[in-house]
Amino acid sequence: MQVQRVVLNSQPGKNGAPVPENFRVEKTTLAPDLQDGEVLVRTLYLSVDPYMVLIQNI
């Protein structure tokens, strides 16, 4: 199965606001069969809240 995934390419700048350049879209192939204990999920919505931003150089 051909799928697209969005990958974080770089961390957002000093103000923490992401811009399109921080992400890239990759096309990949998923294996058609799942192993015991594995599940396949589809993310419909994803929220990245301000408190989740990694603080560097503290």
Q: Convert the pLDDT of each residue in 14-43 to its tens digit.
A: 777 788 899 999 999 987 788 899 888 888
CA distance 57 to 46: 27
Cα(27)–Cα(6) distance, integer angstroms: 9
Please report the pLDDT score of residue 34 as a whole number: 85
Structure token digits, residue 5:
């995934």
Q: Report the Cα 1 to chain-centroid distance in Å.
A: 19
Per-residue pLDDT for 5 more than 80? Answer: yes
* Alpha carbons 4 and 9: distance in angstroms, whole number: 15
Q: Residue 2 has what pLDDT?
A: 86
The yes-or-no verdict on residue 56 having pLDDT over 60 is: no
What pLDDT shows up at residue 17? 79
pTM of full prediction above 0.75: no
Which among 8, 42, 5, 43 is positioned nearest to 26, based on CA atoms?
5
